[in-house]
A and B are shown apart, each in its own frame.
Chain A
Amino acid sequence: MSDTVLNHGYIPEEHAPDPVIGHGDPTPPGKVGIWLFLASEIMFFVAILGSYVILRSGSHELFAKHALALSKPLAGINTLVLIFSSLTMALAVDASQKGKRNKTIICLFITFLCAAGFLGIKAIEYTSKFKHHTIVARESANGPLYVYDGHLHEEDAASMTIEGYRMPVPEHGSIDIHLISEHDVMNGGIEPAEAGQKSEKAMETFTIPKSEIAQDIIYGPWKNIFYADYFTLTGIHAIHVIGGMFPIAFLCIFAIRGKLLPHHTEYVGLYWHFVDLVWIFLFPLLYLI
């Protein structure tokens, strides 16, 4: 008696030819379905990741400069977390197919925790980007014009305290602060310095009166196309992680209530590995090169 026949809503008859319904291919329909879904997911990420690659090669100086501002250690840890969750997911699938209930529950639970941890680390990264300000302002009413760059330390009604660097705005012309990176400000100019070279300058704390601020830019996706890509790619990936957490939680609850769902676990596993796979490509493309 084959799955597909039953699945189909028929009680197979004695004389009905054996599972010709699969026409020789043993893959169950669910697996065909999930792989088709993954194929479409590939196209989805190709569209976004492909446009990132293209935009990057179109203006690689800008991308290389801004990529330096992303935190490699945090992303590295995130990669390990996600790979580990992939391992536990694979073990959960294996355990559930072998009918080992406790192992399934533990593995699914760890996977869920890893996913939550991944999102937590991501949240730290995002927060640091939103606390990051690039401000054009005068120190006092008639003082020189500076570009400040750094993290917001304190803010009250009249002033903002920034921990970071500053440089004077060049007098020979205007500059577009949308394009200035942390790196530029740190090195005191907008000439592109040697990539990767860390300045010896120590961070300082500046208090800027709010009335003197000409422009204030947060490192959100609107800052430039690098951040647009960074937030869109990681954001959509994060949505996929959240989307994977629900079925993992459901599977876990079902397993605790004594019902192992080996088919479903396998399909959720395939999806989860795919999410991991996407991150494996996102990590070097966004953070490392």
Chain B
Amino acid sequence: MKRYIFSTDHKIIGIQFLFMSLLFFVLGGLLAMLIRWQLAWPSDPNHPVPILGQLMGWSKGVMPPDFYTMVFSMHATIMIFFVIIPLLVGVFGNYLIPLKIGAGDMAFPFLNGLAFWSALPAGSIILAGFFRPGGHAAAGWTVYPPLSAVMQNSGFGIAGAQFGNVLHPLGSTWPMTPVIMTFIALFMFVAYVCAYYVNLGNKVLDICVSVVLSLIGGIVITRGVQHAVFDGQSAWFLSITWLGFSSLMGAVNYLTTIIKLRCPGMTMFRLPLSIWSLFITSLLVLLATPVLAATLTMNLLDHLRLTSFYEPFNWVVTNVPQENSGGGFAIMHQHMFWFYSHPAVYIMILPAMGMVSDILAVFARKPIFGYRPMVYAMSGIAFLGFIVWAHHMFQSGMNPTLGTTFAVSTMFIAVPSAIKVFNWLGTLWGGNIRFEVPMLHAIAFVAMFTIGGLSGIFMASTAVDVHIHDTYFIVAHIHYVLFGGSMFGIFGAITFWYPKMFGRMMNNALGHIHFWLSFIAFNCTFFAMHILGIGGMPRRVADYTSYPTFAHFQPMNQFISMSAFTLGAVQILFVINFIGSWIWGKKAPGNPWEATTLEWNDCPSPPPHGNFAKTPVVHHGPYEYSSPLVEEDWLAQTRYVEGAENFVVKH
């Protein structure tokens, strides 16, 4: 039990995160399919939404516009907060950091487990939001007030003057499914804490007490959640704030581990770039997430009509004057939200960059080109990431002085990003490239990230942004960076470290098919969106055909949808490969890719609890490929070679 479920072992926790986020990936993907169905045949009774149309009892099976609003809001939320961030930071942060720096575990293993077990209730609350009357949050993933302050559950409102109402709104309208789900997640959360802190000297007594405590804790917190979550939007706020605490615990842990627990000889500049990227990402998480937590707390209080930080004076929603006074500034929310969410964009790409650097060096059989510039470029991106947030707000009506300032600082980001792209190309140049599946994904990452980065430069210019703001150009850009960038990086990383995680090799042929089909379908889907965006097709509009200006976009939207369905279907191959290889895959050797870093050379696949038989001692940098010192074309970090000091590749 303590070994596999309530484990504090970083590898188990990483794998738990992996399964959680892959499940959410399926859900987010299905939501994306719904979006594409609606956009291909907007509100067309001849093309009713399959299955869901009947299930929901929509008239003629046509998706209502408010449901569409909810679907795209939740697609973004789930993909960003429950898929990409946990996959990059939760899974690979956990799995790789101790293994690659030569530590037995994290600095705070208990806290690490707590991070996972508190991410789970956050996930169950966000799922519970789907079951609320009025549907889930529909204000976009950016939750701009006053839109996010609109009560969706119209049967219920909080009168400001009646404070008592906040404490006992109706919990009875909750169906059983989300209640049970939330209860189980919270039960496990309390049980995890009990498993380590209830110690009365008698094992049976301990278990009994723990179970009772978890039952009480689970029921009490579930009731509390039921009270706070009276509509989808409040579920959203609660869940994301909760998840923020989970990522904070993780970030503190990763940073402390990297600062304190490196094995002898592992200096900061001998860390693999994946660890550097996770280090910088954790700093971003540590400093940006609290701002989000504060903003969402204030927004939640506004939503409950308790305060009015972000609502104007005498504001009215659907002809009903609201109970709180107003007097706040909606634009302040945008500032504070993007103060988190712009660094969050780098949280979602930096770890992928680091892992791709590792993969490229391994399969190009060359040292990474410009190790130190890579590190400095990542630090530069992280620093600049904090001072560019207002480029999301050029059209928000903010002071134009800020617009120019932020446009200039945004363009600066192109410099470190370009350094990284050229260094990746420099790594590939003249390499003895092995086109294994992880390498294909990594190369796709570089290409797709470049396209996504280039379209980003257009938006950085305030004048151009006037035209493309809130069009499909933005959608194309974000998907090129997040799907083409981060997701290909993640696929690369999963296929690369799969042998280490599960001790089995993935199927090569299936991997190739999955990659090529994904790559083609991805480009068909999202490249076309650039064209739609330049044409002016607005995002977040349920039925663009009702505007004659945009009606002629329908054929292209149908093409995009077909490609998107293909892209979705192709992921089934990945699932088959993932599960199939786990059962039937051939046993993986310790170092199948002939890589140099510690996790491949100093422990078997999969590594045992405690990772290393004895503390490794590091003698070389992480990218000693084709070193003239040894006969093989790779020199493990822990392998001592006479005279290496004189031969170290100066980066």
A binds B: yes
Q: Distance in Å from the Cβ of B108 to the closest Cβ of chain A?
A: 6
For residue A37, CB closer than 8 A to chain B, the reply is: yes
Q: Are A55 and B105 neighbours in the complex by a CB distance under 8 Å?
A: no
**Partner among B252, B305, B336 whose Cβ is within 8 Å of the Cβ of A40:** B252
Is A8 in the interface zone, CB < 8 Å from B? Answer: yes
B171 interface hit (Cβ, 8 Å): no
Which of under 10, 10 to 19, 20 to 34, or 35 or more describes the interface residues of A?
A: 35 or more
Contact digits for B148-191, partner A, Cβ 8 Å, 1 yes 0 no: 00000000000011010000000000000000000000000000
A221 and B307 in contact, given A36-B286, A40-B289 (Cβ under 8 angstroms) = yes
Measured CB to CB, the nearest residue on chain B to A33 is B256
Question: Which of B44-52, B321-329, B494-502, B633-641 forms part of the interface with chain A?
Answer: B321-329
Indicate if B103 sits at the interface (CB-CB under 8 A).
Answer: yes
CB atoms of B301 and A44 under 8 A apart:
no
A206 to B291 alpha-carbon distance, docked (Å): 46
Bound form: Cα–Cα A187–B298 in Å: 33
Q: Which residues of A contact B332 (CB under 8 A)?
A: 51, 54-55
Interface string of A37-70 (1 = CB under 8 A from B): 1011101111110010011001100100000000
Docked complex: B190-232 residues within 8 A CB-CB of A: none
Contact residues in B for A30 (Cβ distance below 8 Å):
108
Interface membership of B308, Cβ < 8 A: yes
A22 at the interface (CB under 8 A from B): yes
Q: Judge whether A51 and B308 touch: CB under 8 Å.
A: no
State the Cβ distance, B447 to closest chain A Cβ, in Å. 36
Q: Pick from A39, A220, A224: contact of B163, CB below 8 A.
A: A220
State whether B306 touches A220 (Cβ < 8 A): yes
CA distance A48 to B267 in the complex (A): 38
CB distance from A65 to the nearest CB of B (A): 13
Choice from A8, A10, A225 contacting B327 with Cβ under 8 Å: A225
Q: Mark B564-596, 1 if CB is under 8 A from A, else 0.
A: 000000000000000000000000000000000
Is the Cβ of A23 less than 8 Å from the Cβ of B307?
no
Is B88 close to A, CB under 8 A? no
A27, B251: Cα distance in complex, Å? 18
With both chains docked as a complex, state the minimum distance between the C-beta of A249 and any C-beta of chain B, in angstroms: 14
Query: Which residue of chain B has the shortest Cβ distance to A221 in the bound complex?
Result: B307
Name the one of A9, A46, A55, A229 contacting B291, with C-beta atoms under 8 angstroms: A46
Q: Which of B108, B297, B614 contacts A33 (CB 8 A)?
A: B108
Given A40-B286, A40-B287, A222-B305: A10 and B615 interface contact (C-beta under 8 Å): yes
Question: Is A32 positioned at the interface, with any CB of B under 8 Å from its CB?
Answer: yes
B contact residues, total (Cβ < 8 Å): 57
Taken together as a complex, chains A and B put the C-alpha atoms of A48 and B324 apart, in Å, by 19
Collect the chain A residues with CB atoms within 8 Å of residue B286's CB.
Answer: 36, 39-40, 43
List B contacts of A216 (CB < 8 A).
161
Q: Does A231 lie within 8 Å of B264, measured CB to CB?
A: no
**In the complex the two chains form, is A59's CB within 8 Å of B307's CB?**
no
| In contact, B105 and A9 (Cβ under 8 angstroms) | yes
Task: Assess whether B411 is interfacial by the CB under 8 Å rule.
Answer: no
Does B267 lie within 8 Å of A23, measured CB to CB? yes
- A-chain residues with CB within 8 Å of residue B248 when the two chains form the complex: 37, 40
Residues of chain B lying within 8 A (CB to CB) of residue A176: 313-314, 325
Chain A positions within 8 Å of B614 at CB level: 10, 13, 16
Q: Is the CB of B264 within 8 A of A21?
A: yes
Q: Is B610 an interface residue (CB 8 A)?
A: yes
Residues of B within 8 A of A236 (CB): 297
Q: Which residues of B contact A17 (CB under 8 A)?
A: 264, 617
Q: A33-B107, A232-B307 are in contact. Are A222 and B323 (CB under 8 A)?
A: yes
Contact A16 B327 (CB under 8 A): no
The residue in A7, A28, A228 that gathers the most chain B C-beta atoms within 10 A of its C-beta is A228
A40 and B307 within 8 A (CB) = no
Q: Is the CB of A221 within 8 A of B260?
A: no
Q: Which parts of B122-144 form the interface with A (CB within 8 Å)?
A: none
Specify which chain A residues have a CB less than 8 angstroms from the CB of B297 in the assembled complex.
Answer: 48, 232, 236
Which residues of A lie under 8 Å from residue B111 when comparing CB positions? 33
**Once the chains bind, are A47 and B290 in contact (CB under 8 Å)?**
yes
> How long is the Cα–Cα vector from A62 to B326 in the complex, in angstroms?
13
Residues of A within 8 A of B287 (CB): 39-40, 43
A130 within 8 A of B: yes
Whether A222 contacts B329 by the Cβ 8 Å rule is: no
Once A21-B262, A40-B286, A220-B160 are accepted as A-B contacts, the answer to whether A9 and B104 lie under 8 Å apart by CB is: yes
Cβ A8 vs Cβ B261 within 8 A: yes
Flag whether B263 is at the interface (Cβ < 8 A): yes
Chain A nearest Cβ from B486, distance in angstroms: 24
Q: Is the CB of B253 within 8 A of A33?
A: yes
Answer whether residue A20 sits at the interface, using C-beta atoms and an 8 A cutoff: yes
B610 nearest in chain A by CB position: A9
Question: Do the beta carbons of B301 and A20 come within 8 Å of each other?
Answer: no
A8-B103, A16-B615, A39-B286 known; A217-B161 Cβ under 8 A: yes
- The answer on a CB contact under 8 Å between B104 and A223 is no
Complex interface: chain A residues within 8 A of B288 (CB)? 43
Nearest neighbor of B267 in chain A, beta-carbon distance: A23
Contact, CB under 8 Å: A43 / B259: no
Asked if residues A222 and B263 are in contact (CB atoms below 8 Å), the reply is no
Interface string of A167-199 (1 = CB under 8 A from B): 000000000101100000000000000000000
Residue ID in chain A nearest B293 by CB atoms:
A44
B255 on the A face (CB < 8 A): yes
Residue A284 lies at the interface, judged by CB distance under 8 Å to chain B: no
CB distance from B261 to the nearest CB of A (A): 6
Bound Cα distance from A218 to B325, whole angstroms? 12
B309 touches A228 (CB 8 A): yes
Question: Would A37 and B265 count as touching, CB distance under 8 A?
Answer: no
Q: Say whether B260 contacts A29, CB under 8 Å.
A: yes
On whether the beta carbons of A8 and B293 are closer than 8 Å, the reply is no
Q: How far is the CB of A23 from chain B (nearest CB, A)?
A: 6
Cα A8 to Cα B248 with chains together (Å)? 21
1/0 contact trace for B299-323 toward A, CB 8 Å?
0010001111100011000000001
Is B239 among interface residues, defined by CB-CB distance under 8 A?
no
Known: A8-B105, A16-B614, A228-B306. 6 other contacts (CB 8 A): A10-B615, A28-B260, A222-B305, A225-B328, A228-B328, A236-B297
Sample (26) of A-B pairs whose CB atoms are under 8 Å apart: A8-B261, A9-B104, A16-B615, A16-B617, A21-B261, A22-B260, A23-B267, A29-B256, A32-B259, A33-B107, A36-B255, A40-B290, A44-B293, A44-B294, A48-B294, A48-B297, A59-B327, A178-B327, A216-B161, A221-B301, A222-B305, A222-B308, A225-B309, A228-B301, A232-B307, A232-B309
Listed from nearest, the 9 A-B pairs whose CB atoms lie closest are A47-B294, A228-B307, A44-B290, A222-B160, A178-B325, A9-B104, A222-B324, A43-B290, A20-B264
Instruction: Using CB atoms and an 8 Å cutoff, list the residues of chain A in contact with chain B.
Output: 4-5, 7-10, 12-13, 16-17, 20-23, 25, 27-30, 32-33, 36-37, 39-41, 43-48, 51, 54-55, 58-59, 62, 130, 176, 178-179, 216-218, 220-225, 228-229, 231-232, 236
Interface residues of B (CB under 8 A from A): 103-105, 107-108, 111, 160-161, 163, 248, 251-253, 255-257, 259-265, 267, 286-291, 293-295, 297-298, 301, 305-309, 313-314, 323-329, 332, 336, 339, 610, 614-615, 617
